[in-house]
């Protein structure tokens, strides 16, 4: 897997903006990505140093849309902790 295929999208929510004060950033990552792949991808893409990576698999669920029942597939997210003083400018001002 190529390093730029590991990170799918950044997760920007109110809870995640609070975590940015602790130098933690959240990303949706590929299902078969591991911690070392995520660490390398973040360091290469944003030119920062990563302290640690925590992974969480978000379980799927069913959702009603009118008469239809839609299944939302499970996905994986990564919580990336950066070294003190490093920032990802992509998240600033959102």
Q: Is residue 88 part of a domain?
A: no
**Dihedral angle sign, alpha carbons of residues 40, 46, 49, 55:** negative
Q: Is residue 90 part of a domain?
A: no
Q: Is residue 26 part of a domain?
A: yes
* pLDDT over 80 (residue 91): no
Q: How many domains does the chain contain in total?
A: 1
Across the range 19-43, mean pLDDT stands at 95
Q: Is residue 92 part of a domain?
A: no
Rounded-to-integer distance, Cα 74 and Cα 77, Å: 10
- Categorize the per-residue pLDDT at 89 as very low, low, confident or very high, splitting at 50, 70 and 90: confident
Q: Is residue 93 part of a domain?
A: no
3-state DSSP call for residue 77? strand
Which residues fall within 8 angstroms of residue 89, CB to CB, at 6 or more apart? 46
Q: Is residue 78 part of a domain?
A: yes
Contact 43, 88 (CB under 8 A): no
* pLDDT over 90 (residue 61): yes
Q: Is residue 94 part of a domain?
A: no
Task: Specify the CATH number for the domain of residue 37.
Answer: 3.30.70.330
User: In the chain, what percentage of residues exceed pLDDT 70?
Assistant: 96
């Amino acid at each position: 897997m190529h390093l730029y295929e590991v990170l799918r999208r950044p997760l920007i929510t109110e809870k995640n903006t609070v975590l940015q004060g602790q130098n933690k950033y959240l990303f949706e990552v590929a299902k078969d990505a591991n911690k070392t792949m995520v660490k390398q991808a973040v360091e290469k893409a944003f030119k920062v140093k990563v302290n640690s990576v925590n992974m969480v698999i978000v379980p799927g669920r069913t959702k009603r849309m009118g008469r239809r029942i839609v299944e939302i597939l499970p996905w994986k997210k990564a919580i990336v902790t950066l070294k003190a003083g490093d920032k990802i400018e992509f998240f600033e001002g959102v």
